[in-house]
Amino acid sequence: MEILVCVKRVPDTSENEIEINKTGSDIVRDDLVYSVNEWDNYAVEEAIQIRDKVGGSVTVVTVGNQDSEEVLRREMAMGADKGILLSDKAFEGSDGKGVASILKAEIQKGKYDLILTGAQADDGAGQVGGMLAAMLDYPYASLVNKIEVVNDKKIKAGREIEGGNQEMSEIDLPCVLSIQTGINEPRYVGIRGIRKVASVDIPVHGAGDLGVAAGTVGAAGAKVKRADYFVPALGEGAEMLEGSTEEIIEKLVELLKAKGGIK
């Protein structure tokens, strides 16, 4: 099975104190520590496990600048077979639709049975997986926490739904799945593995290689633009009600009446 996993280089929130710049146009990126997006890491681990069971190969792909090559090498050290960097000045400032368009162009150059993405990345929008599936006209499932390979034409994808229940769907291949954290335990990447892939050639594909018109992606083609970054104002906090259960209920009813919640 040929599997493609879309990954992204993002600020590591466990290693950084995120601050907004003076103009409110972005976060302060000087001296930030970056790593692979957490959700994507689970997607790569799942792809490796599937390959090890049924055969095939795992390719990791990212849209970014030359610095993004480091996350490709990390995932290759983890066990992915190949990496592809999609990099071009024209790609800078792409919104979700732009990123999905770039990935679609790369996917159509190859022949993949399964495309995995993380459930969401650093901006939290969770749009790319669904948009990519729609553009490719492939079946799609989001927040997947279980994958079973049925045969070379079908898989079963599980999703946790309301009430802690599990939903299982049989999906035709090729398809796109967005992977939820907790589906597996990503393996440790050691120094030996990183050194092993340090000199492996990673192809770089730009707009011309992909046949993507520069005006349709990047800042020029973005339909969604960030207007502002700001830290939300702190409220007064929660009011803790004390007393017996009956007293708390009585106080709560009076508060709701006073604030117009009930009559």
57-72 residue pLDDT tens: 999 999 999 999 999 9
Q: What is the pLDDT of residue 230?
A: 85
DSSP letters, 41-79, are HHHHHHHHHHHHHH--EEEEEEES-GGGHHHHHHHHHHT
Query: pLDDT exceeding 90 applies to what percent of the chain?
Result: 75
- Domains and their CATH numbers in the chain: 2-221 (3.40.50.620)
**Nearest to residue 110, comparing CAs of 142, 84, 129, 138?**
84
Mean pLDDT is lowest, of 145-149, 168-172, 233-237, for 233-237
pLDDT at 166: 92
What confidence tens digit (pLDDT) does each residue in 100-158 have?
999 999 999 999 999 999 998 877 788 999 999 999 999 999 999 999 999 999 999 99
Secondary structure (3-state) at 154 = strand
DSSP one-letter code for 11: E
Confidence at residue 151, expressed as pLDDT on a 0 to 100 scale: 95
For the residues 155-184, what does the mean pLDDT come to?
A: 94
Q: Work out the burial of residue 230: count CB atoms within 10 Å of its CB; fewer than 13 is exposed, 13-18 middle, 19 or more buried.
A: exposed
HSE-up of residue 261 (Cα within 13 Å, Cβ side): 8
Judge whether residue 13 has pLDDT over 80.
Answer: no
263 has pLDDT over 80: no
What pLDDT band is residue 30 in, cutting at 50, 70 and 90?
confident
Q: How far apart are the first and last CA of the chain?
A: 61
Per-residue pLDDT at 262: 80
Q: Band of the pLDDT at 23, cuts 50, 70, 90?
A: confident
Distance CA 102, CA 94 (A): 9
- The answer to whether 91 and 63 have CB atoms below 8 angstroms apart is yes
Q: Supply the pTM of this predicted model.
A: 0.86
Give residues with Cβ within 8 angstroms of 76, minimum separation 6. 60, 82, 83, 197, 200
Q: What is the pLDDT of residues 192-218, one digit of tens each?
A: 999 999 999 999 999 999 999 999 999
Instruction: Write out pLDDT tens, residues 82-93.
Output: 999 999 999 999
Summarised one tens digit per residue, pLDDT across range 95-115 is: 999 999 999 999 999 999 999
Closest residue by Cα to residue 175 from 204, 138, 205: 138
Residue 9: per-residue pLDDT? 94
More confident residue, 28 or 8: 8
Is pLDDT at 16 greater than 80 in this prediction?
Answer: no
Give 28's contacts (C-beta < 8 A, 6+ positions apart).
18, 19, 20, 21
| pLDDT at 70 (0 to 100) | 95
Q: Using the predicted structure, report yes or no on whether residue 261 has a pLDDT greater than 80.
A: no
